[in-house]
Structure 1
Amino acid sequence: MLIKIKFFLGPSQIAFIIRTMEKMEREIAINNVACIKFRPKLSTDQYYISFKDGDGCSSPVGQMRGEEMEHIVTLNYPGCFVDAIIMHELLHTLVNTLNTPYDYASVMHYEPTAFSLNNLPTIEALQPNVEFGQRYNMSTYDILEVRLFYNCSARGVTHPPMLTTTTVNLYVRNETLSSSLTQKSESFIFPYKLNGIYYYEAFQVTVPVDGDYIILISDSSVRICWILYKINFYANSSDVNLVIARCGTVEILQNQNSFYFKSQNRYVLVITTDNSNITGNYTLLISGLNQIQFRQINSSSIVPTTTTQFPSSQTFTSEYSTSLTENSPKYDRLGSVGMYYYEAIMISVPETNTYGVVSNSSIDTYGYLYVDNFNSSNIEENLISGDDDSEDNLQFGMIHQFKSMKKYILVVTTKSPLVVGSVSIAVIGLREVTLTSLTINCE
């Protein structure tokens, strides 16, 4: 069976997808006899699959018919560029269950809290003590269903031997980290938050080769945050040595879960929650060029510095107050439908460092961070981060490394359309910053 494909992506992304398709072809083959084969689209092909970069990871189900014969698979880079995620989207296009048994292990099965708005389960297994929602590889039944659907045979053309040359794929090793946060876990105060007790686990992280690695929350019973520190982590000074922090995933910002690790550096990965006094299970998926090494540590395992074991830091809070009114500019914000009042605020920092940005309001706020420029007519351009409810009381919170020579624009808006109200913004860090309202010329 030939599946025709077309790409609207860069060379490295195309190479990654092709490698994943080749892996699918070999796993579905019977005794290495080819069953399905992906090939480039020809001008005469009526039905085909297109790949493009966009919001999240998605695919229509089944063959597109009628006027829409192009089946578009959307893969946000690099967040969706994990073998099993691409397999999941491709299987949406390729196969039917064909009366096979219910398969909890299927790469097509969603996790217990899939599409939940409040992190409560949306799917419950009838079979007790069963796990589901994995994104590691096709299951036995996944492979069987493709073989049945396309009448695969053990006779025919065999696949050529695997080449041993290096691949351009940047994410060829997937590692998982699964554990639980309990009331017996160690606790700390979340960076740039003034109060609350947050349970955490800390892991020393090393990589054998410099490169980009992706950290994704693949399964969790609660909303999980991961925070990366360089050299040391100090529970009583959690803003010191902080490099990057991510809470959950804004679905259109999965690319922000990648980080460039250097092999000569020591990193500490801290797993916690976005709200205080929360416990629960979690699983993280880490993908990279080589296997990442983890070693769990506790507060007594911290390597002393040459000055003092627990450095203290003085933080400054820079505040800005505003109101979203019916006279505020409106736009169609990312990830939703409708018009939203917003204000654009320029953030200028005197020194390159990590800063926390939080909102405080009686309304449900949403925040987006842009670099260099914000264009309300092209809301994905220059977007570097975004958040909905990482803070208490439906407020947004973001932690980002700001560079002193860069221009940053914080867009403050709301979760629901056409909501008005007062909002206060606080930027917390080792230096005071300047916040200035910007006038955006809407096209």
Structure 2
Amino acid sequence: MKVIIFAVWIIGIIVANVHAKPTAVVFTKDPEAKFLNLERLPDETEGHAINASRKARGLVLMGNGARWSNGIVPYQFGSGYTTQLQADVVTRMRKIENLVAINNARCIQFRPRVSTDLYYITIQNGTGCSARLGQSTGNVTLQSPGCSDDGRTFHELLHALGKSEMKERECLFHEQSRSDRGLYVKVYPENMQTGADQQYLIYENPMADMLNSSYDYSSVMHYAKYDFSSNGKPTMEPIQSNIKIGQRYNLSNGDIQLIRRYYNCSSNGPTLPPFTIPIEPAYPSMLLSTYSSELTNQNLMYNRNGSSLPNFYYEVINVTVPAAGSYIFQCYSNIDTFGYIYNQAFYPLSPAMNLINAFDDENIERWEFSFMLTFNSPDTSLLVVTTYNPNMTGSFLIAAILLSPLPPPRRQQQRQQAALLPPLPPPRRQQQRQQAALLPPLPPPRRQQQRQQAALLPPLPPPRQQQAALLPPLPPPRQQQAALLPPLPPPR
């Protein structure tokens, strides 16, 4: 009984009670064969790795040649590159510098060419993706569009960091050319285009040195399953199940360690100039916020849903959206991440409970999750960030983007629209009253008007009899007048 109570108590501690009911829309993966490898074949004018009839990486081909002096690679741009394309390539150079630096101490550095440079690379906009191996005066071809993304630029610049002329120099080349590759992948030459088999040659010691590194499926130098296929069938497959190959978006941890060992890097070198790796979301103008963290061996572990293996580090993140709408969540990392969305609570001991959906890769070349959620109102959801393979650690960043806000409910929308519209006119009777109040008063009725006018006029003369009373008396009649006259004198 005590054991049961203790288990319930532990579950209660790690459960996050968050109420959210979003509708998840999954980004569907593109078919693997859809992605065309534009890295050029050696039977063309310039091969993918030029001046190297035999090549290797993961893996360094050994010889008497020197690395780029002090890890500094001068560069210039050829024709065909706009100012913006040049800025994009330089940003990717800065990314490589910062990824391989140890405590910001310079390991390798790309800088513009000066007149005294004997060796330098020329970056040009040509056909396909190709690079001359190692310290030399040669071209790095990055076709735009087609090869002007992060992963392909990284791939070709890593070739440029290596060496050419196999028996006399060293070179960084492809992961599948390691002497131990037979333990990790199967290669099918019968499915390859003519000349492509040169990219899959195996190199044995002492010609090749793997620098004590393990086989790296996630290397940016590893080819994908269908690269250079002539018939739509795989040219190479991992022997182990649930393994992915051919990413083209970042340097793996193995790539970083190999470059550090190859150039004998330490934390005592010159300090790199300040640089912030930019976030490049799908819709930069609508970027709302970012969240950065790191999976370490201090994180809790669990058996993630969908995998039969144990020991996956994870982190639970509360995602709160400020308004209704469709949101995109993009992950950026140099580890292969995996995301899960839960609508109420996350139970590590029952990872399928309350699960809305799971999100793996954006596509076969970009092994970071990217998904869209639609919220009908401001709300909170749970995002569990873990990894594709167990026991993996590393930093990650998640960018939240508001793709399109949802219109408010109809009644609220009507209220908002009404608030923006001019007020409706009053009812007709009220309108008539308001108009009447603004008009001059109507003239009084005719009889009242006559009375008012009469009151303003001088009084009418009295009736005739009344006028006679006011007149002096009329003289008496003639006879009466005669009586009033003095008597006439007697006749003469």
Q: Which has more helix, going by share of residues? A: 2
Q: Which has more strand, going by share of residues? A: 1
What TM-score, normalized to structure 1?
Answer: 0.38
What TM-score, normalized to structure 2?
Answer: 0.34
Task: Mark the structure with the bigger radius of gyration.
Answer: 2
Higher relative contact order (CA 8 A, sep 6+): 2
